[in-house]
């Protein structure tokens, strides 16, 4: 008779796996279609429906069809993964119903992979039979001593070059066992690999088909289920998925699937074997810092809330992800909603709260719907509510929706919003942990922070703190966007350099253009130039470089981005979202925006930059809350690193990147113009003159700089500068 909460969870898992066995695990082939807001916008639903239709017509035993959350490779969605036993999972990208037909016929029925539809093909890879992924984390590289080369040499020697590939992986947190190498699809982990052992592995395992037991490591980590499916593609291979461990792996709307991957085991363990203090100690030892942007040590926050004596305490998950261009929390919730609930419950247990809230922005309808379903399923299974898993612990969770206010991501504004008021921040102290929701001690943590909690509990704080840098432990999720080849959601160990993110994971700058800057931290962050590319990604290093970690937005810019315009764009956002309570933010950001608008319109004056810096300093130091305090960051960092662009705008009335409409001139290059008249015909103000077959000329006085001529010209004869 299972009595302890942990025993009950294990029993539930066992039952879940049984239920899933028929539907999923006994299948020889599993096909998963991505399902998330981004996936669906790209057309995932018709793709799924097409599969359903085809399977309806062709009964194929041994094949299971399911849906999973978004794995993070946004520019290639919709993604369909075909997982066959003993083979490296094939990831089809940019799928359409028509492509489904081809894949079904060729691969599902005929066993032949459609190479040109695969992610591997896009990445320039072939379909290998096996992959050796050599860990390139800092710890392993130190001891590496030619392991990667040894693998490559041995593979070439044995003529396996066509079927076995060697790639690099990010630190997987096995540093004490390094150098580490993974073999896919066997999910074998080799530890303490030397060049000699590497050679043996190639001979005995890759060629002979038999893993070498004495060199393997058979431990299990929560994060391990992701890489076997996606790890062969560099974009994923260089990631370490803790927060996003289940995204793209499980069906987010099925509690059984969460249970099957050790879901709620952390909760069971906590309720059975750990006191409140022990839980807090574990989180403290792990070094987990708030992932919402502040980076405040989570353990310390929980400790303070725990120390307060009160009849009522609350725990709130902040899912009001408002940074434009950030979607880490959305993907996490859409792909793995139960992990948030589990983290919330463990936190509530630790501080002594019996009521939890998830404050989520209303612009995320699918995340809301998945969360509501997860809560309902958890309640029905006795995982939420009174006497959870037969213990004395009561906890229930309520959703509260935002209504379109970025500032409500700030702690005190969030509390005001839940209380039904305007989301205007309040001076601290008192901090929410002492006096929060309705005056009661309240802990507020970001989605990503809470998603890490089960990892800390199951895999242990010691392991968690072995990943990352001395002051920034664990991983960080980033939404990588902008002018890189591979955009999407990534999770890398803290300490990974910006260069590795942009080039190894991001695949370098699109179109072969030049890197200019990477913007981190959303509207509160800064723009970092090329000279800072070797900065490791962690709280303190990014701050020292002049930006912030923020919630994880990371936008890459190339030579065609105007940094003054970027600053103006962010300030426009901040101005729109300012709550208006305090003078410096309400008035100061407006004045800064006015100055930037003048500068980008060609009306900048000498002395404007100095004024901007002065006002930026005032706004930063005098504002009431983080929104105002961080609003000037994009301005300050662009002035610091790209002063010459500002000067060009002001003194020469020129925009070097050719972005600011008022400062750009369009001219026709006489040598290239063939007189086709296409531009003249398109020009809305008829300012291009020239006879057919003769060189055309743009009248600068009448030109309104709409750019239609540039679009119309097929001979590259229009120059925009």
Partner 1 sequence: MAEKKQISLTIDDVVVKVPEGSTIMDAADSIGVAIPRLCYHPHLSILGACRVCLVEVEGMRNPVASCAYPAEAGMKVRTSSTLLRRLRRDVVELILDNHPQECQTCERNTNCELQKLSFELGIRDRLFQGERKRYKKDLSSPAVTRDLEKCILCGRCVRVCEEVQGVTNLSQHRRGFHIEVSPAHQGNMMNSVCVQCGQCANVCPTAAIVEHNDSEAVFAALADPAKHVVVQTAPSIRAAIGEGFGYEPGTPATGRMVTALRLMGFDKVFDTNFGADLTIVEEAYEFMRRLQNNDRLPLLTSCSPGWIKFMEHFYPELIPHASTCRSPMMMLSVLLKTYYAEKAGIDPKNVFVVAIMPCTAKKFEAKRPEHFTPYGVPYTDAVLTTRELIWMMKCYGMDFRHLQDGEFDNPLGVSTGAADLFGTTGGVMEAALRTAYEKLTGKPCEKLDFVEVRGVEGVKESAVKIDGKVINVAVSNGLQNAKNLLDRVVRREKEYHLIEVMACTGGCIGGGGQPYPPPGMHIMDASLLKMRAKALYTIDSQKKLRKSHENPYILKLYEEYLGEPNGHKAHELLHTHYEPKFPRGIR
Partner 2 sequence: MSPKTVETTTAPAAGELPEHVLKFIEQTRLLPHPESYLIAVLQMLQKHFGYLPAKSLDTVSQLMQIPSAKVTGVATFYHFFTFVPKGKHTISVCLGTACYVKGAGILVDRLKEMLGVEVGAASKDGLFTLEVARCVGACALAPVVIVDDKVYANVKPDELVKILSKYGYKPK
Q: Is 666 strand, coil or helix?
A: strand
The entry of partner 2, partner 1, none near residue 401 (CB within 5 to 8 angstroms by kind) is partner 2
Report the residue number, 373 or 590, with the smaller CB distance to partner 1.
Answer: 590
Long-range contacts of 293-301 (CB under 8 A, 24+ apart): 293/446, 293/521, 293/524, 293/548, 293/549, 293/550, 293/551, 293/626, 294/626, 295/472, 295/539, 295/549, 298/445, 298/449, 301/433, 301/443, 301/445
Alpha-carbon distances, residue 681 vs 169, 387, 411, 498, 716 (angstroms): 54, 75, 56, 46, 17
Of the residues 318, 417, 442, 487, which one makes contact with partner 2 according to CB under 8 A: 417
- Residue for token pair 């030892």: 285
Residue 505: CB minimum distance to partner 1, A: 33
Report the residue number, 398 or 652, with the smaller CB distance to partner 2.
Answer: 398
Of the residues 362, 544, 669, 670, which one makes contact with partner 2 according to CB under 8 A: 362
* 688-689 and 697-698 strand pairing: antiparallel
Half-sphere exposure in the Cβ direction for 658 (13 Å, CA)? 12
Q: How far apart are CA 589 and CA 96, in angstroms?
A: 45
Report the residue number, 288 or 585, with the smaller CB distance to partner 1.
Answer: 585
- Which tokens belong to 342? 């589990």
Query: How many chain residues bind partner 2 (CB under 8 A)?
Result: 29
Q: How far apart are CA 270 and CA 569, in angstroms?
A: 46
Q: How far apart are CA 587 and CA 93, in angstroms?
A: 47
Is residue 20 a contact point for partner 1 (CB under 8 A)? no
Which residues, 577 to 636, sit near partner 1 by CB under 8 A? 577-584, 586-588, 590-591, 594, 611, 614-615, 618, 620-624, 629
Q: How far apart are CA 394 and CA 36, in angstroms?
A: 32
* 314-319 and 396-401 strand pairing: unpaired
Cβ-proximal residues to 616 (8 Å cutoff; 6+ apart), any chain: 592, 632, 635, 636
Which residues, 188 to 217, sit near partner 1 by CB under 8 A? none
528, 502 Cβ separation under 8 angstroms: no
Report the residue number, 288 or 405, with the smaller CB distance to partner 1.
Answer: 405
Max distance between CA atoms of the chain, in angstroms, equals: 93
Report the residue number, 496 or 708, with the smaller CB distance to partner 2.
Answer: 708
The entry of partner 2, partner 1, none near residue 418 (CB within 5 to 8 angstroms by kind) is partner 2
Mark the segment that binds partner 1 (CB under 8 A) among 224-232, 302-310, 420-428, 478-486: 420-428
Provide the mask over 531-570, with x wherever binding to partner 2 is found by CB under 8 A and - wherever it is not: ----------------------------------------
Is residue 542 a contact point for partner 1 (CB under 8 A)? no
Residue 304: CB minimum distance to partner 2, A: 24
Of the residues 366, 458, 676, 712, which one makes contact with partner 2 according to CB under 8 A: 712
Report the residue number, 383 or 407, with the smaller CB distance to partner 1.
Answer: 407
Report the residue number, 431 or 715, with the smaller CB distance to partner 1.
Answer: 431
Alpha-carbon distances, residue 355 vs 299, 352, 389, 394, 396 (angstroms): 19, 9, 17, 8, 5
Query: How many chain residues bind partner 1 (CB under 8 A)?
Result: 34
Residue 683: CB minimum distance to partner 2, A: 8
Query: DSSP alpha helices (H): ranges in 623-689?
Result: 626-630, 633-641, 643-647, 678-682
The entry of partner 1, partner 2, none near residue 426 (CB within 5 to 8 angstroms by kind) is partner 1
Q: How far apart are CA 580 and CA 660, in angstroms?
A: 29
Report the residue number, 374 or 424, with the smaller CB distance to partner 1.
Answer: 424
Mark the segment that binds partner 2 (CB under 8 A) among 132-140, 220-228, 342-350, 681-689: 681-689
The entry of partner 1, partner 2, none near residue 706 (CB within 5 to 8 angstroms by kind) is partner 2
Alpha-carbon distances, residue 309 vs 305, 313, 351, 352 (angstroms): 9, 9, 10, 10
Of the residues 199, 499, 586, 682, which one makes contact with partner 2 according to CB under 8 A: 682
The entry of partner 2, partner 1, none near residue 332 (CB within 5 to 8 angstroms by kind) is none
Burial classification of residue 313, based on how many CB atoms lie within 10 Å of its CB (0-12 exposed, 13-18 middle, 19 or more buried): buried
Which residues, 283 to 322, sit near partner 1 by CB under 8 A? none
Alpha carbon 287 to chain centroid, angstroms: 21
Beta bridge partners of 517: 529, 557
Report the residue number, 314 or 464, with the smaller CB distance to partner 2.
Answer: 314
Report the residue number, 423 or 482, with the smaller CB distance to partner 2.
Answer: 423
Residue 352: CB minimum distance to partner 1, A: 24
Is residue 422 a contact point for partner 2 (CB under 8 A)? yes
Q: How far apart are CA 61 and CA 53, in angstroms?
A: 15
Is residue 601 a contact point for partner 2 (CB under 8 A)? no
Binding site for partner 2 (CB under 8 A): 362-363, 365, 400-405, 417-424, 438, 579, 682, 684-685, 704-708, 711-712
The residue ranges that bind partner 1 (CB under 8 A) are 405, 407, 422, 424, 426-427, 429-430, 575-584, 586-588, 590-591, 594, 611, 614-615, 618, 620-624, 629
């Amino acid at each position: 008779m299972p009595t302890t909460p942990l025993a009950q969870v294990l029993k539930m898992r066992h039952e879940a796996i049984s239920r899933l066995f028929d539907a999923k695990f006994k299948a020889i082939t599993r096909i998963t279609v991505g399902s998330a807001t981004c996936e669906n916008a790209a057309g995932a639903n018709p793709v799924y429906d097409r599969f359903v239709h085809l399977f309806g017509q062709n009964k194929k035993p041994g094949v299971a069809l399911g849906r999973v959350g978004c794995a993070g490779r946004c520019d290639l969605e919709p993604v369909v993964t075909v997982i066959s036993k003993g083979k490296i999972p094939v990831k089809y990208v940019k799928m359409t119903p028509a492509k489904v037909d081809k894949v079904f016929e060729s691969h599902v029925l005929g066993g032949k992979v459609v190479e040109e539809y695969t992610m591997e093909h896009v990445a320039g890879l072939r379909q290998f039979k096996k992959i050796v992924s050599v860990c390139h984390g800092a710890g392993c590289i130190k001891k590496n001593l030619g392991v990667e080369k040894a693998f490559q040499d041995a593979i070439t020697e044995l003529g396996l070059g066509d079927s076995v590939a060697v790639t690099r992986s990010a630190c997987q947190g096995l540093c004490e066992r390094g150098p580490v190498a993974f073999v896919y699809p066997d999910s074998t982990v080799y530890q303490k690999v030397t060049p000699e052992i590497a050679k043996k592995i190639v001979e005995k395992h890759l060629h002979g088909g038999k893993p070498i037991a004495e060199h393997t490591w058979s431990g299990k980590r929560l994060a391990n289920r992701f890489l076997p499916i996606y790890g062969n593609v560099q974009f994923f291979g260089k990631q370490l998925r803790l927060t996003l461990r289940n995204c793209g792996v499980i069906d987010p709307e099925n509690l059984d699937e969460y249970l099957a991957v050790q879901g709620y085991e952390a909760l069971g363990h906590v309720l059975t074997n750990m006191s409140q203090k022990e839980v807090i100690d574990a989180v403290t030892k792990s070094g987990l810092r708030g992932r919402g942007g502040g980076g405040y040590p989570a353990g310390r926050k929980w400790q303070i809330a725990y120390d307060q004596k009160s009849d009522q305490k609350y725990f709130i998950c902040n899912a009001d992800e408002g940074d434009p261009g950030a979607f880490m929390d959305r993907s996490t919730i859409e792909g793995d909603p139960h992990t948030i609930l589990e983290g919330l419950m463990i936190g509530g247990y630790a501080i002594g709260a019996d009521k939890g809230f998830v404050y989520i922005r209303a612009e995320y309808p699918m995340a809301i719907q998945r969360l509501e379903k997860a809560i309902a399923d958890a309640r029905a299974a006795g995982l939420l509510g009174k006497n959870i898993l037969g213990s004395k612990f009561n906890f229930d969770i309520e959703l509260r929706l935002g209504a379109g206010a970025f500032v409500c991501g700030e702690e005190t504004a969030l509390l005001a919003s839940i209380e039904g008021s305007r989301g205007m921040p309040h001076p601290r102290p008192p901090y929410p942990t002492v006096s929060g929701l309705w005056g009661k001690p309240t802990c507020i943590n970001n989605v990503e922070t809470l998603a890490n909690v089960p990892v800390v509990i199951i895999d242990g704080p010691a392991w968690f703190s072995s990943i990352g840098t001395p002051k920034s432990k664990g991983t960080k999720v980033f939404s990588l966007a902008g002018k890189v080849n591979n955009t999407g959601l990534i999770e890398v160990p803290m300490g990974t350099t910006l260069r590795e993110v942009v080039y190894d994971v991001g695949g370098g700058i699109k179109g072969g253009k030049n890197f200019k800057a990477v913007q981190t931290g959303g509207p509160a962050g800064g723009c970092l130039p090329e000279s800072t590319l070797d900065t490791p990604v962690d709280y303190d290093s990014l701050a020292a470089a002049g930006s912030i970690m923020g919630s994880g937005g990371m936008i890459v810019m190339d030579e065609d981005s105007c940094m003054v315009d970027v600053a103006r764009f962010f300030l426009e956002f901040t101005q729109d979202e300012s709550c208006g309570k305090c003078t410096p933010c309400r008035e100061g950001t407006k004045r800064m925006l006015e100055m930037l608008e003048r500068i980008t319109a060609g009306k900048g004056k000498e002395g404007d930059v100095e004024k901007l810096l002065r006002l930026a300093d005032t706004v930063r130091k005098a504002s009431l809350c983080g929104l105002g305090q961080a609003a000037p960051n994009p301005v300050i960092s662009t002035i610091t690193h790209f002063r010459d662009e500002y000067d060009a705008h002001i003194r020469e009335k020129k925009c070097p990147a050719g972005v600011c409409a008022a400062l750009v001139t369009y001219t026709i290059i006489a040598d290239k113009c063939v007189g086709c008249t296409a531009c003249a015909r398109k020009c809305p103000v008829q300012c291009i003159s020239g006879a057919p077959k003769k060189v055309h000329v743009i009248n600068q006085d009448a030109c309104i700089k709409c750019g239609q001529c540039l679009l119309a010209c097929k001979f590259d004869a229009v120059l925009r500068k």
